[in-house]
């Protein structure tokens, strides 16, 4: 209950009732039995009304209420996705790996076997899926290394490849950002936003960009990346082109391509934090810069030296950063719309004392 609001309602009711000749002093029947209870109830109704209004505005709605609002614009929240990959299982020849067997990481995250196979040549690989949805299922090489229980004839398990396709459910912030982008850039009359949005409808496409008249009148280029903001397969490129081409009733010349990496080499003079060795520091720095690179894709024609310097200054792997060179220079790096920057981990050196 908002006491200040209730008092305001009481005062307005008192003024209105007094004009009709009824007593409204403290302790009166009208005050205690009519005015006070009604004021409290009206305050509660006002609060409920405000919450209802909040749920119908995109800037204040959350969860299912936001899902309803964006659905009016043809947008759905991206669902969580379970991480999938391959695990190599070793054991006696002829031993069976059954669908439903469970493997795990050291931290207890489990993966279920999706197919039945037999061991040949002392090992075989099987498809696996994380038991839980989301990025929790993503892992590095060798992290899946245990059986949940003893399985006859099986002696070991390990993942020889990274698993990176697990996704959390889309957050309210990202969903709202997509909706605002759709409203700000309406896809009409085959404009550049129409091409972009059509590409994004294709399963497997994570981001897309359209360059109208890229090679003169009547030409359009669409650039795509996968859901992990990485270069896509030739198959997905062909699929996007066919889907868009099939909707044309004119002679637009469409080309579809994927992003390409722009390698960035860092030479750093700094001191390692005590919890890191050289390899761990390089991996951490590359990961910390990855978010900046992906956010810059399609939005800028430069990777800024000052921002890289800022990231390294606050890196968990380093302190006392004395010097930085980016591609042997202390300058911004020019990139094209189709280029995604990538720090070459092997080319980072740390020379601080």
Measure Cα distances from 60 to 10, 43, 77 in Å.
Answer: 30, 21, 17
- 41-45, 142-146, 205-209, 269-273: which range is least confident on average? 41-45
Q: Is the pLDDT of residue 202 over 60?
A: yes
Three-state DSSP class for residue 172: helix
Q: What is the pLDDT of residue 178?
A: 82
Confidence tier at 4 by pLDDT (50, 70, 90): confident
- CATH number, domain 185-258, options 2.170.120, 1.10.3470, 3.40.50, 3.30.70: 3.30.70
**For the chain, what are the domain ranges?**
3-55, 82-158, 185-258, 261-350
- CATH number, domain 82-158, options 2.40.30, 1.25.40, 1.10.3470, 1.10.287: 2.40.30
- 178-187, 220-229, 288-297, 306-315: which range is least confident on average? 178-187
pLDDT digits (tens, 9 = 90+) for 105-158: 999 999 999 999 999 999 999 999 999 999 999 999 999 999 999 999 999 999
Measure Cα distances from 37 to 29, 43, 278, 344 in Å.
Answer: 12, 10, 70, 70
pLDDT digits (tens, 9 = 90+) for 328-339: 899 999 998 889
- 15-19, 70-74, 146-150: which range is least confident on average? 15-19
User: 214 has which bridge partners?
Assistant: 216
Percentage above 90 pLDDT, the chain = 48
Q: What is the pLDDT of residue 182?
A: 79
Q: What is the pLDDT of residue 278?
A: 85
- CB burial readout 142-167, b (16+ within 10 A) else e: ebbeeeeeebeebeebbbeeebebbb
H/E segment holding residue 93? none
Confidence tier at 342 by pLDDT (50, 70, 90): confident
CA neighbor of 328 nearest in space, from 250, 239, 266, 237: 266
Three-state DSSP class for residue 15: helix
Fold agreement between 82-158 and 185-258: no
Tell how far CA 46 is from the center of its chain.
37
Residues contacting residue 167 through CB under 8 Å, at least 6 positions apart:
78, 80, 81, 133, 134, 135, 227
Enter the pTM of the model. Answer: 0.61
CA neighbor of 335 nearest in space, from 289, 291, 292, 304: 304
């Amino acid at each position: 209950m908002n006491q200040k609001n209730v008092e305001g309602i009481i005062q307005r009711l008192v003024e209105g009732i007094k004009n009709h000749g009824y007593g409204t002093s403290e302790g009166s029947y009208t005050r205690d039995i009519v005015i006070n209870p009604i004021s409290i109830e009206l305050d509660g109704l006002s609060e409920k009304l405000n919450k209802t209004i909040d749920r119908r505005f995109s800037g204040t709605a959350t969860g299912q209420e936001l899902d309803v609002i964006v659905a009016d614009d043809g947008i759905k929240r991206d669902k969580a996705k379970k991480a999938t990959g391959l695990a190599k299982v070793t054991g006696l020849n002829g031993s069976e790996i059954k669908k439903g067997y469970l493997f795990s990481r050291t931290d207890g995250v489990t993966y279920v076997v999706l197919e039945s196979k037999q061991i040949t040549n002392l090992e075989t690989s099987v498809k696996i899926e994380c038991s839980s949805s989301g990025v929790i299922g993503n892992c590095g090489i060798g992290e899946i290394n245990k059986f949940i229980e003893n399985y006859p004839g099986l002696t070991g398990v390990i993942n020889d490849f990274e698993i990176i396709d697990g996704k959390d459910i889309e957050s309210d912030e990202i969903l709202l950002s997509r909706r605002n982008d759709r409203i700000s850039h309406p896809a009409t009359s085959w404009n550049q936003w129409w091409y972009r949005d059509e590409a994004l409808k294709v399963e497997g496409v994570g981001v897309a960009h359209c360059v109208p008249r890229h090679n003169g009148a009547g030409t359009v280029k669409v650039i795509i990346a996968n859901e992990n903001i990485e270069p896509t397969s030739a198959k997905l490129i062909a699929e996007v082109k066919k889907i868009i081409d099939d909707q044309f009733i004119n002679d637009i010349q469409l080309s579809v391509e994927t992003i390409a990496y722009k390698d960035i080499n860092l030479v750093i003079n700094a001191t390692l934090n005590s919890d890191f060795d050289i390899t761990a520091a390089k991996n951490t720095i590359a990961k910390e810069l990855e978010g900046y690179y992906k956010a810059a894709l399609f939005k800028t024609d430069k990777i800024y030296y000052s921002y890289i310097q800022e990231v390294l200054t606050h890196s968990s792997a380093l302190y006392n950063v004395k010097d930085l060179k980016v591609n042997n220079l202390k300058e911004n790096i020019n990139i094209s719309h189709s280029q995604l920057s990538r720090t070459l981990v092997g080319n980072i050196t740390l020379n601080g004392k």
